[in-house]
Structure 1
Amino acid sequence: MLDAGLKTQLTTYLQNLRQPIELVASLDDSAGSAEMRALLEDVVSTSDKVSLNLAGDNDRKPSFAITRAAGDADVRFAGLPLGHEFTSLVLALLHVGGHPPRLDAEVIERIKGLDGDYRFETYFSQSCQNCPDVVQALNTMSALNPRISHVAIDGALFKAEVEAREVMAVPTILLNGQPFGQGRMDVEQILAKLDTGAADRAAEKIKTKDAFEVLVIGGGPAGAAAAIYAARKGIRTGVAAERFGGQVLDTMAIENFISVPHTEGPKLASALEQHVKEYEVDVMNLQKAVGLVPAKTPGGLHEVKLENGASLKARTVILSTGARWRNVNVPGEAEYRNKGVAYCPHCDGPLFKGKRVAVIGGGNSGVEAAIDLAGIVAHVTLIEFDSQLRADAVLQRKLASLPNVKIVTSAMTTEIHGENGKVSGLSYKDRNHDSVHRVDLEGVFVQIGLVPNTEWLKDSGVALTPRGEIEVDYRGETSLPGVFAAGDATVTPYKQIIIAMGEGAKASLSAFDYLIRQVPANEEAEAA
């Protein structure tokens, strides 16, 4: 099952086990069970601290639990943890085996101190880049707290269960049999939902912080670069991010990051966070900015208001809040989100195997999504508002060669229909003849570009374009002295990771230059 290279790597990793662990398998006569047994036998062969028990009696077959002698860990995989989930398997083995997770001591203590019994189930797909974060977070929590259990379920393998529970997007998380969350979540986000007092404690902690010299709002590529460049100047630097990594976390393959032929968004986001934490940067994750109060005088303190009621102050602010997927904004989109309306073909595509879907959008993202989905689903209808597709010619040629794809141009989506709580069709208007057409289908993937995350700045005095982008000059300066901006939230063209990083570095250098040219408050008073 595992090639020689993976077995060698696994042998090295499992040398970190601090106590014996047992893999308890629940198998039947299926091909999937045969594959799982082969995988588990390969794992056992890499360490004398891992044993295999084939007498498991769990209802889900094939599945296996990772346990230890004390019986105080309950981590289970229902399905093969391969693809993106192989790392989840390795980490689960290590953490159940006593190797400490890479979490802050405070977070570990909060997990151990949770009062209650928590039975988590997560539905994943092997092609989903968002799923490992959730699976790894809940596995780690299960390894640390005996009152937490977690089973990661491959939706493609347990189709009847997925249909019965109407799971139409991954990752989907259930807690004690009830919906808990959908989409990417890390340990801190899960803790925030379980520990209802966490937000208030975070707010009180933030209120005690002194003013920063540079405060970065946003933790994507632009924000990370800005924080690193500021910290290297030796000045007090803070980062407030709604989720560190930003939209990069939702990016599948990255093949144009110079000097790195291929990487994936979550891997790059993790590397960005680790690089930032190598410096004395105060990283405040899960903090959403809701208002900006500009300094009353040049060189004075700006105030950034947070959703939890706390505020941060700084002599300079760098806005790098990025962008999010644009909604098509038609009846049915919000109602059937994650019930057939999706935004990530890589994540959710496998759940629509053999079904009919539509892709809205004829740019590179839309055409790439249609190509990917065509290899999984029965039929794809691509709908483009313009009279022609806008994707690169090579992508258009590939799309046109696929027999199960229909391309509809000059079409305006007017409604997404549903029955019994899930998508059943889509209507569009032919813009050339004003006729309305309905397409019966089970899924709609929206791929129509980005919207800058700048609504919170509308009353701040920061100049925005009609599209909501922050206006900046060649130095990254906004219309407010001491406030800079970088990345996808700005007017800078070509929304690319490498460009956002460069713009973040430039904005940070500009902020430093601004700071050193300001007259300190005491000198200003003496001059008066």
Structure 2
Amino acid sequence: MLDDSLKQQLKAYLAKVTQPFELVATLDDGDKSRELHALLDEIAGLSDKIALSTEGGDKRSPSFALHRDGEPTGVAFAGIPMGHEFTSLVLALLQVGGHPPKASDEVIEQIRSLDADLHFETYFSLSCQNCPDVVQALNLMAILNPRISHDAIDGALFQDEVEAREVMSVPSVFVNGEPFGQGRMSLEQILARVDTGAVEREAARLSEKAAFDTLMIGGGPAGAAAAVYAARKGIRTGVAAERFGGQVLDTLAIENLISVPQTEGPRLAAALEEHVKEYDVDIMNLQRAVELVPGEAGGEHEVRFESGARLKSRTLVLATGARWREMKVPGEAEYRNKGVAYCPHCDGPLFKGKRVAVIGGGNSGVEAAIDLAGIVGEVTLIEFMDELRADEVLQRKLASLPNVEIIKGARTTEVNGDGNRVTGLSYEERASGELRELALEGVFVQIGLVPNTEWLKDSPIELSSRGEIVVDERGMTSVPGIFAAGDVTTVPYKQIVIAMGEGSKAALGAFDHLIRH
């Protein structure tokens, strides 16, 4: 299962294990059980503190649980955690083996103080870049609190469960048998939901903070770069973000960040946060901005958040980014995560062998169709215009695939379903006005971005006709002392490297404003 290089790396990691534990496997006669047995046997052979037993009695096969001192730790994997989940496996091995987790003392104490019996189950896919954060967070909670347990389940191997529970998007989390949440969730987000009163306590704590010199609203590439540049000037710097990393967290392959030939979104987001933490920056996560109250000339600006928190700062850098644009047709919202999806890399494996549509003929849509064609049974790409807008090399690749149909000049009018999941899609032929229907199990929407500026609609910040924040050559908005950067602004070409540059420029602009005022 593991090549020699990976074995050596894993052996080095496992040298950090200080407490012995056991891998308890539940296996059958199938090929996947033999693969899992081989993997666990290799892992056990890399450390004298890890033992392997095949006497497990879990209801899922193949699966394995981690036991310590003869008792379950609460951590179990159903399937073979390779791909994106290999990191989750390694972290579980280390943490069960006594290696301290990378979490603050406050968070660790909050987990240990949870006073409830919670059994979590997470359905993941090996190609999902959003899933590891959820799996790792819940594993850590199970390791730290004996009243919590977590099963991480490969949805592709347990299709009967996926069908029975109507899992149409990953990660999908259940707690005590009931739906808990879907999509990427950080440890802090999960704790905020299970720890009653945590949001209110945190909001009160934040509201007591002294005013910042520069406060970044948003923690994507623009906000992170702005924070680094501001902190290096020695001024009081903060970052308030709904989730650090922003939309980068939902990006799979990144191959155009200069000097970094190839990386993945979650890895880049982690690197951004690590870089920011090297400086004296106050990072405040789970804070969704809902209102801006500009100060008087030379005064402090206030930002109010959904949590109830209020933060003040002499200057601001607005970097709230953008999100996937929705079609805004009947059925889209009703069947979101029930067949309507926005991340083909994450959710594609759940549609293996099925019929899906991709909406959008730009680079994102065509790339999605190409990726899905290798997984699903049939792909229909629907483009509003009369020609695809993707790069020619992508169009040629798409045209070469035998299980892809391309429909141009079509307007999607409705997502159809049976009340529980998607069953089809209706569209209009723009040239003739004729209405047609497609029988489908999934719809992947890839039609561009919309800026996150709804919270600024009633503010004096000037917005463009597309809702983007209008900025000058220094990144300043129409309100002195308030700057903006990244995908949320009118600066063209929404690229990570451009957002980083614009964030740096905005921070320098804010520092210059502080000096002059």
Asked if the contact 1:72/1:145 (under 8 Å) is kept, the reply is no
Alignment partner of 1:425 is 2:435: no
Which residue is 1:314 aligned to? 313
Which residue is 1:521 aligned to? none
Which residue is 2:204 aligned to? 204
- Provide structure 2 residue ranges, at least 5 long, that are not aligned to the other structure: none
Q: Which residue identity is paired with 2:196? A: T
CA deviation vs aligned residue, 1:407-458 (integer Å, no higher than 9, x gap): 1111000000001410000000000000000000100000000010000011
Q: Measure, in 1, the Cα distance between the counterparts of 2:57 and 2:503.
A: 54
Distance apart, 1:320 and its partner CA: 0.2
Which residue is 2:363 aligned to? 364
Q: Which residue identity is paired with 2:448? A: G
Q: Which residue identity is paired with 1:400? A: A
Q: Measure, in 2, the Cα distance between the counterparts of 1:310 and 1:151.
A: 34
Which residue is 1:101 aligned to? 101
Asked if the contact 2:66/2:72 (under 8 Å) is kept, the reply is no
Q: Secondary structure at the match of 1:16?
A: coil
Distance apart, 1:465 and its partner CA: 0.6
Q: Measure, in 2, the Cα distance between the counterparts of 1:56 and 1:467.
A: 57
Alignment partner of 1:154 is 2:154: yes
Q: Which residue identity is paired with 2:432? A: H
Which residue is 1:473 aligned to? 472
After TM superposition, the structure 1 = structure 2 runs for residues 230-309 of structure 1, keeping only pairs within 5 Å, are 230-297=230-297, 299-309=298-308
Q: Measure, in 2, the Cα distance between the counterparts of 1:309 and 1:53.
A: 50
Q: Measure, in 2, the Cα distance between the counterparts of 1:27 and 1:188.
A: 35
Asked if the contact 2:379/2:404 (under 8 Å) is kept, the reply is yes
Asked if the contact 2:476/2:484 (under 8 Å) is kept, the reply is yes
Asked if the contact 1:294/1:302 (under 8 Å) is kept, the reply is yes
Distance apart, 1:310 and its partner CA: 2.1
Cα RMSD, aligned residues only: 0.7
Which residue is 1:343 aligned to? 342
Distance apart, 1:60 and its partner CA: 0.2
Q: Which residue identity is paired with 1:161? A: E
Q: Secondary structure at the match of 1:116?
A: coil
- Provide structure 1 residue ranges, at least 5 long, that are not aligned to the other structure: 519-528
Q: Measure, in 2, the Cα distance between the counterparts of 1:125 and 1:302.
A: 44
Which residue is 1:497 aligned to? 496
CA deviation vs aligned residue, 1:77-113 (integer Å, no higher than 9, x gap): 0000000000000000011111111000000000000
Q: Which residue identity is paired with 1:334? A: A
Q: Which residue identity is paired with 1:327? A: E
Which residue is 2:143 aligned to? 143
CA deviation vs aligned residue, 1:244-281 (integer Å, no higher than 9, x gap): 10000000000111111110000000111111111110
Distance apart, 1:59 and its partner CA: 1.0
Q: Measure, in 2, the Cα distance between the counterparts of 1:10 and 1:398.
A: 37
CA deviation vs aligned residue, 1:131-154 (integer Å, no higher than 9, x gap): 000001101111111111001000
Q: Measure, in 2, the Cα distance between the counterparts of 1:146 and 1:456.
A: 41
Q: Which residue identity is paired with 2:127? A: S
Which residue is 1:448 aligned to? 447
Q: Measure, in 1, the Cα distance between the counterparts of 2:466 and 2:248.
A: 22
CA deviation vs aligned residue, 1:171-215 (integer Å, no higher than 9, x gap): 000000000000001110100000121111111101210000001
Q: Which residue identity is paired with 2:265? A: G
Asked if the contact 1:72/1:146 (under 8 Å) is kept, the reply is no
Which residue is 1:523 aligned to? none
Which residue is 2:80 aligned to? 80
Which residue is 1:526 aligned to? none
Q: Measure, in 2, the Cα distance between the counterparts of 1:163 and 1:24.
A: 27
Alignment partner of 1:34 is 2:37: no
CA deviation vs aligned residue, 1:467-495 (integer Å, no higher than 9, x gap): 10000011101000000000000001110
Asked if the contact 2:65/2:72 (under 8 Å) is kept, the reply is no
Q: Measure, in 2, the Cα distance between the counterparts of 1:150 and 1:163.
A: 20
Q: Measure, in 2, the Cα distance between the counterparts of 1:332 and 1:308.
A: 30
Q: Secondary structure at the match of 2:71?
A: coil
Q: Measure, in 2, the Cα distance between the counterparts of 1:42 and 1:499.
A: 44
Q: Measure, in 2, the Cα distance between the counterparts of 1:471 and 1:80.
A: 49
Moved beyond 6 Å, runs of 4+: none
Q: Measure, in 2, the Cα distance between the counterparts of 1:308 and 1:85.
A: 32
Distance apart, 1:70 and its partner CA: 5.9
Distance apart, 1:71 and its partner CA: 2.3
Q: Secondary structure at the match of 1:73?
A: strand
Q: Which residue identity is paired with 1:118? A: L
Distance apart, 1:333 and its partner CA: 0.3
Q: Which residue identity is paired with 1:27? A: L
Q: Which residue identity is paired with 1:399? A: L
Q: Measure, in 2, the Cα distance between the counterparts of 1:343 and 1:128.
A: 12
After TM superposition, the structure 1 = structure 2 runs for residues 505-520 of structure 1, keeping only pairs within 5 Å, are 505-518=504-517
Q: Measure, in 2, the Cα distance between the counterparts of 1:80 and 1:119.
A: 21
Q: Secondary structure at the match of 1:507?
A: helix
Which residue is 1:438 aligned to? 437
Which residue is 1:225 aligned to? 225
Q: Secondary structure at the match of 1:74?
A: strand
Distance apart, 1:512 and its partner CA: 0.3
Q: Secondary structure at the match of 1:91?
A: helix
Asked if the contact 2:23/2:52 (under 8 Å) is kept, the reply is yes
Q: Which residue identity is paired with 1:428? A: Y
Asked if the contact 1:251/1:266 (under 8 Å) is kept, the reply is yes
Which residue is 1:410 aligned to? 409
Q: Measure, in 1, the Cα distance between the counterparts of 2:488 and 2:21.
A: 48
Normalising to structure 1: TM-score of the pair? 0.97
Which residue is 1:184 aligned to? 184
Q: Measure, in 1, the Cα distance between the counterparts of 2:318 and 2:186.
A: 24
Which residue is 1:110 aligned to? 110
Q: Which residue identity is paired with 2:500? A: M
Q: Which residue identity is paired with 2:374? A: G
Pair 70,32 (structure 1): closer, same or farther in 2 beyond 3 Å: closer
Asked if the contact 1:242/1:288 (under 8 Å) is kept, the reply is yes
Q: Measure, in 1, the Cα distance between the counterparts of 2:7 and 2:73.
A: 25
Alignment partner of 1:89 is 2:84: no
Q: Measure, in 1, the Cα distance between the counterparts of 2:207 and 2:432.
A: 59
Q: Measure, in 1, the Cα distance between the counterparts of 2:123 and 2:5.
A: 29
Q: Measure, in 1, the Cα distance between the counterparts of 2:371 and 2:41.
A: 33
Q: Measure, in 1, the Cα distance between the counterparts of 2:29 and 2:287.
A: 49
Q: Which residue identity is paired with 1:404? A: N
Distance apart, 1:72 and its partner CA: 5.8
Q: Measure, in 1, the Cα distance between the counterparts of 2:344 and 2:351.
A: 10
Q: Measure, in 2, the Cα distance between the counterparts of 1:8 and 1:142.
A: 28
